[in-house]
Structure 1
Amino acid sequence: MAHEDDDLGKVWKLVEKIGFCMLTTQSGSDLRARPMSAHAEEIENAIYFLTDVASHKDDEIARHPNVCLAFADSKGQKYVSISGTAEVQNDREKIHDLWATPAKAWWDSADDPSIRVLKITPSSAEYWDSPGTVISYIKMAAAAVSSSRPDMGDNAKVEM
């Protein structure tokens, strides 16, 4: 159990550190991903985003609420994939809580009536945390020469 708790903590730490993800929704029979700025709330077991009421993702989520969040720090060789359920909310207080400088690229103020909160409730996650690009390449080269498998860091599946 302690190991699972460590893995869960690792997921939240990586999500917080990476900050941006690709949000994948279902559009008809296709999958569609777009970059989003994430606001992780471990205590609430939720990841929040600001979105616009006129966006297509809101319609997609209404029809198919299961989504995937893919976080990637390619330079640090750290990745997280989270599956969960999405819902769009018109929570004005939460919008003000989440309002930050990057949001100004899309809206003039937190009081813009078209802003909505996209809440993802994670159900499961998987992370990959390797020691970094240079060390990973060295380990892969050593494994190739010795015909062994390289230790590429930590990987775990976690129920959330």
Structure 2
Amino acid sequence: MDQKQVRQRIEEIIDNNAIGILSTVENNKPYARYMTFLNKDKTMYTPTSRETYKVEEIDKNSNVHVLLGYQGEGFGDEYVEVTGTASIRDDKELIEDLWTDELDNWFDGKDDPKLIFLEIKPEYVRLMNGRGEPPHSLDL
């Protein structure tokens, strides 16, 4: 599989799988949780409250790992691994751009002071579990 095919498949998986797993590190131990991800300009974003443990963890160690795409079908069920760094974004322009009405389930509108987005800049991306294929790394 060439880089163009790898990139295309990774983008398809990321665009079609909004729910994934975000892992952070605290005291040299991993912590994982399901999150909703948005992809914009090769950067991933996930909404959260500034009052969560993950925000404290990212403040101390910005290294994160994301898994997206596995559907539980077994052999050949592709997924994407993203290793990167996360930063906390609370600027109104970004919140306005990424806001969806679905977020009303967790926040009191776009102006909720708890609402932030974690911005994840990928450093390493791999396409995993292709039927009969080894993992493919994307050149960033």
Secondary structure of the residue aligned to 1:14 is: helix
Q: Aligned residue for 1:122?
A: 122
Once the two structures are superposed, the pairs formed by residues 49-128 of structure 1 within 5 Å of their partners are 49-71=46-68, 72-75=70-73, 77-128=77-128
Structure 2 residues without counterparts, runs of 5 or longer: none
Q: Aligned residue for 2:42?
A: 45
User: How far is the alpha carbon of 1:50 from its aligned partner?
Assistant: 1.0
Aligned residues: percent identity?
A: 23
Letter in 2 for 1:30: K
Letter in 2 for 1:47: M
- The structure, 1 or 2, with the larger RCO (C-alpha pairs under 8 Å, 6+ apart) is 2
Q: TM-score, normalised by structure 1?
A: 0.77
Secondary structure of the residue aligned to 2:94 is: helix
Q: Distance in 2 between matches of 1:81 and 1:14?
A: 11
Structure that is richer in helix per residue? 1
The structure with more radius of gyration: 1
User: How far is the alpha carbon of 1:153 from its aligned partner?
Assistant: 4.7
CA-to-aligned-CA distance 1:101-158 (integer Å, 9 cap, x gap) = 331221121111111111000011111354xxxxxxxxxxxxxxxxxxxx53573112
Letter in 1 for 2:88: V
CA-to-aligned-CA distance 1:63-112 (integer Å, 9 cap, x gap) = 11110001122238121110001000111121122112331221121111
User: How far is the alpha carbon of 1:62 from its aligned partner?
Assistant: 1.1
Q: Distance in 1 between matches of 2:134 and 2:104?
A: 37
User: How far is the alpha carbon of 1:24 from its aligned partner?
Assistant: 0.2
Letter in 1 for 2:35: M
Structure 1 residues without counterparts, runs of 5 or longer: 131-150
Secondary structure of the residue aligned to 1:94 is: helix
Q: Distance in 1 between matches of 2:99 and 2:49?
A: 13
Q: TM-score, normalised by structure 2?
A: 0.87
Q: Distance in 2 between matches of 1:159 and 1:85?
A: 17
User: How far is the alpha carbon of 1:45 from its aligned partner?
Assistant: 2.1
Letter in 1 for 2:139: E
